[in-house]
Amino acid sequence: MMVMRDLNIGTKVGLGVLNDRWAALVLINLKAAPTEIMNLRQRVRGLSTLKLLNVLAKLTELGLVATAGNYQFQLTTAGISFQKQLHQLEVWGDQMIVAMH
């Protein structure tokens, strides 16, 4: 029997994205089709344009988002997959909340 002392690196990267609320909100609000940054900023309230650009740069570096030119961004295939996982996590969380009450 193998004893785990730490999470694998893939799990750590995924949890890092999930732990960054702005990254998760951006991923939830992006689509496969290009989205203009100001439209995205209107959907994700509470962060500055500079912070949004930093989050998008991080997500681009992780291969979850791609630039589509002229300050437009879209989900990559990996980003679409991650977004689906975020939705599944939301469904699970909603079920847990209902089950607690």
- What confidence tens digit (pLDDT) does each residue in 14-72 have? 878 888 889 999 999 999 999 999 999 999 989 899 999 999 999 999 999 999 988 99
pTM of the model: 0.84
Q: Minimal CA–CA distance to 46: which of 76, 67, 21?
A: 21
Residue 83's identity, in one-letter code, is Q
The answer to which of 4-13, 15-24, 72-81, 84-93 has the lowest mean pLDDT is: 4-13
